[in-house]
Structure 1
Amino acid sequence: MPPIRPEAKKLMGARLARSIAQGALVVDFALYVTKLGWSATFLGVVFALAILFAVLLTATIGPASDRFGRKRFVLIFEAIAIIASLLGLLSQAPVALACAAIIGGFGRGANGAAGPFAPAEQSWLSGYIDKRDFGAVLSLNIAIGFFGMAIGAVLAGVIGARQPLFILPLAASLVAATLLIITPDRARSVEVVRNNEAAASKVENGLLWRLAGLNVLNGTGIGLSGPFMSWWFAAKFHASASSIGPALAIGFIAAGVASLTSGHLTRRLGTVRTVVLMRGIGLVSLFALPFAPSFVVATFIYAVRSAFNRGTAGARQAVALGLVRGDRRGLAASVNTISVLVPRGIAPALAGVLFETGALAAPFLLAGLFQGAYLFFYPRVFAAHDPSRS
């Protein structure tokens, strides 16, 4: 691991605090509001509105942070998160709690990222990392989030699906805000471009369009399977929440370890090759998962799949941020996030229809086809733009 600057460590500490709270809410939020009488339909609408809210903000935050600075936007997120947590603590009214969930992202999980303000956070962090070290350091940052999510999942079992649960996101936001306040927003230098500025931007825009196209394939594959894992475990193996919770926690831990491994591999094999190798193993696991003969075997395959798919998140972030100059990384982060988020929000509708018909394997196989296409094109598009080779 290359040396990490103190400023970057503070940003990673904020991510750890957020991830613990997010891990707890992934487990307990849906259970809590169900006790309050929320229907599955109403909960689904709230999640859909939360995704819409995230997409609309993400589209503007990245480019705006390129122009006005990163720090102020991430601090705005923490202020919103504090308000959402207080709403959860002080009210059980459906409208108030739904608004809190929409703006706070309750129950969706973001691996410790700053929700729709994540593009500003990513570009802020990248300013304290040498480009050749993007893969290693961003992978460590992602791993910290996974380990925090696992801790939060365990804490959720201790606290239970009760209103005091919202103390966790409140405390996390206060800790994160404190760390952000004492972290300087690095002054953005004007990078010298030999060729015409417009020509350079045109090349970068073309790469971002290709990134978005590939991410649609990836996001569709994720949306066809990821959101239904708890449901699928229960439907296929009649597993209870007490069994499914630890299974998901194991997946988070495995992903964290894999993310650390991918950071090491990016320095030896290159960032793009690392993504292809690890996602290839994850793809094989995805095809095998629906045919697992028992819950134990399925849990093992799920952990492998989670590790090798999610473990490349930092490496893929590194490739996306490395496609553009430093003063456009907020834009790149926004494009990278939105192009995955939108299909992830749409694809579950198709998966739900398939699962409802009793086709418990079809969504996984269809997801595998989309992710296989993504894996085929990824090195062909980005091999020449590997940040670890800079």
Structure 2
Amino acid sequence: MSSAPSPYTRKGWHSLGTVAQRLIAARFLRSIAQGALAVDFTLYLKARGWSAVDVGLLLMAGGLSGAVLSLLVGIVSDRIGRRLFLLIYEIGLTVGMAAIIIHPAAWIIVVTAAIFGFGRGANGSSGPFAPAEQAWLAQSIPGPRRGSVFSFNAGLQFWGMGIGSLLAAVLPHMIPGARGAQAYLPLFLLNLLMALINLAQIYSIHESPRHNAHPSESASKTDGVPEEHAIHRRENRALTLLAIVNTINALGIGLVAPLLPYWFNVKFGVGPAEIGPVYGLTFFLTGISSLIIGRVSESIGLIRSIVIPRLLGVVLLIGIPFMPSFTIAAVLYVVRSIVNRGSVGARQAFSLSLVRDKRRGFASSLNAVSWSLPAAVGPAVGGWFINMGSLVWPFIIAAGLQLGYVILFPTIMAQYEVKSPASP
């Protein structure tokens, strides 16, 4: 059986269609802005005099608000469509960035950062509106192609994050004579520009009726009520189990990842000029890893392509806090990211394969909530450890939680893996 062309070839890209192309392009541009935020935002807050606890609480607030909003967005978008929510996101982000640029009061920064998840390394996602975005993208792609297309999408967003991370090294130096928090003004100008471009992109495309996207996935609409109830129960059970294992994973990641630039600064005394290039290299290589994992997932399956890299990532995570220099710690961080984050696309494709199209907004939102809530608690706990002078324990606890995820995910979710038609 001949397989569809890879999305990262010219033929494969054109075969995706306008909607998928625009959504992927919008996420790529958004990831550039978020890559700069991932490096500079916590350092910006530090320049304003915020402690590690203050920063951790703000990141926690962003996670909690994102969890509540994403659940609402996912459920409602299944009923009224997905395009509206992405337009609201880009308009809101534009207004928030403009407000910070014009009047950077603490309450404006807190509200905007909490709603849009600043500094959390969202990899180009539309924050709490991501369930609508992912469901719309999945709707426009046939099921057998989702593993490769979502991995391609993840690869592009990592490259965008890499570009943004490199920009983060120079943005605080672009205004001559600016010091402290004022030097970070270009960071918010970059995010405003990307929001305006993406607003135009989303506005230019139209959402097709969901029942017209892939008829094979809409066949259940003619099923009898008993069979429909049985399908619902199976989907709900799968989503519940996925939420349980996601909660463990997200808590482990939230303890360390959002505060890592702050941790590097405290541990080794480095700033944006040193951290930015490390993040840039990390995201570029992770993008390549995502493409490779996307291709490999077609032959070995999504679950194994998720679990194997993450097991190695656990080992590398434990070693980072014990390294004697920033260079060695940065190398471990880069390698860990390559093997760990490269499976993001495969994880997204797996979670969306658990339900039919008409429930994908709900599935994506539940997935986001199971991620956002525990990930929101993580920075507050990690910030408390850092503030107490403990720079090792957040990594140890995070590694233990992520090891639990590696064990539980294949054990619990293997029964729900959908084999590609090209698989043996």
TM-score exceeds 0.5: yes
- Residue identity in the other structure for 1:183: I
Q: 2:61 aligns with which of 25, 49, 59?
A: 49
Name 1:12's counterpart in structure 2. 24
Matched, 1:382 2:404: no
Separation (CA, whole Å) in 1 of partners of 2:305 and 2:51? 43
Quote the offset at 1:73 in angstroms: 1.0
Name 2:36's counterpart in structure 1. 24
Is the Cα–Cα contact under 8 Å of residues 56 and 379 in structure 2 kept in the other structure? no
Name 1:192's counterpart in structure 2. 219
Separation (CA, whole Å) in 1 of partners of 2:205 and 2:416? 30
Is the Cα–Cα contact under 8 Å of residues 266 and 388 in structure 1 kept in the other structure? no
Q: 1:155 aligns with which of 167, 170, 176?
A: 167
Matched, 1:173 2:195: yes
CA pair 361-331 structure 1, distance change in 2 beyond 3 A: same
Name 2:249's counterpart in structure 1. 218
Quote the offset at 1:169 in angstroms: 1.5
Separation (CA, whole Å) in 1 of partners of 2:114 and 2:385? 27
Matched, 1:64 2:64: no
Q: Secondary structure at the match of 2:77?
A: helix
Name 1:141's counterpart in structure 2. 153
Matched, 1:100 2:131: no
Separation (CA, whole Å) in 1 of partners of 2:348 and 2:113? 26
Quote the offset at 1:197 in angstroms: 1.2
Q: Secondary structure at the match of 1:387?
A: coil
Separation (CA, whole Å) in 2 of partners of 1:357 and 1:177? 43
Name 2:404's counterpart in structure 1. 373
- Residue identity in the other structure for 1:245: G
Quote the offset at 1:44 in angstroms: 4.1
Matched, 1:87 2:114: no
Quote the offset at 1:59 in angstroms: 1.1
| 246-255 or 27-36: bigger deviation | 27-36
* Residue segments in structure 2 that go unaligned for 5+ positions in a row: 1-5, 173-182, 212-216
| 11-20 or 229-238: bigger deviation | 229-238
Name 2:370's counterpart in structure 1. 339
Quote the offset at 1:257 in angstroms: 1.6
Name 2:356's counterpart in structure 1. 325
* Residue segments in structure 1 that go unaligned for 5+ positions in a row: none
Separation (CA, whole Å) in 2 of partners of 1:54 and 1:356? 25
CA pair 387-172 structure 1, distance change in 2 beyond 3 A: farther
Once the two structures are aligned, what percentage of the paired residues are identical?
Answer: 39
Q: CA RMSD in A?
A: 2.1
Name 2:238's counterpart in structure 1. 207
CA pair 256-133 structure 1, distance change in 2 beyond 3 A: same
Separation (CA, whole Å) in 2 of partners of 1:287 and 1:110? 23
Separation (CA, whole Å) in 1 of partners of 2:98 and 2:269? 36
Give the total of aligned pairs.
390
Runs of 4+ in structure 1 over 6 Å off: none
| 201-210 or 300-309: bigger deviation | 300-309
| Cα-to-partner distance string for 1:60-112 (whole Å, 9 max, x where unaligned) | 10111111111111111111111111102211222233323233333333111
**What is the TM-score normalised by the length of structure 1?**
0.93
Separation (CA, whole Å) in 1 of partners of 2:411 and 2:338? 24
Name 1:247's counterpart in structure 2. 278
CA pair 22-208 structure 1, distance change in 2 beyond 3 A: same
Quote the offset at 1:117 in angstroms: 0.1
Is the Cα–Cα contact under 8 Å of residues 91 and 97 in structure 1 kept in the other structure? no
Separation (CA, whole Å) in 1 of partners of 2:92 and 2:333? 34
Is the Cα–Cα contact under 8 Å of residues 62 and 334 in structure 1 kept in the other structure? yes
Quote the offset at 1:319 in angstroms: 0.7
CA pair 92-363 structure 1, distance change in 2 beyond 3 A: closer
- Residue identity in the other structure for 2:154: I
Is the Cα–Cα contact under 8 Å of residues 217 and 374 in structure 1 kept in the other structure? yes
Quote the offset at 1:43 in angstroms: 4.2
| Cα-to-partner distance string for 1:5-30 (whole Å, 9 max, x where unaligned) | 23211111110111111112223333
Name 1:270's counterpart in structure 2. 301
CA pair 16-27 structure 1, distance change in 2 beyond 3 A: same
Separation (CA, whole Å) in 1 of partners of 2:20 and 2:192? 23
CA pair 62-283 structure 1, distance change in 2 beyond 3 A: same
Quote the offset at 1:230 in angstroms: 2.4
| 375-384 or 301-310: bigger deviation | 375-384
Matched, 1:258 2:289: yes
Separation (CA, whole Å) in 2 of partners of 1:227 and 1:105? 10
Q: Secondary structure at the match of 1:111?
A: coil
CA pair 389-175 structure 1, distance change in 2 beyond 3 A: same
Q: Secondary structure at the match of 2:219?
A: coil
- Residue identity in the other structure for 2:205: T
Quote the offset at 1:35 in angstroms: 4.2
Separation (CA, whole Å) in 2 of partners of 1:366 and 1:103? 28
- Residue identity in the other structure for 1:370: L
Is the Cα–Cα contact under 8 Å of residues 85 and 104 in structure 1 kept in the other structure? no
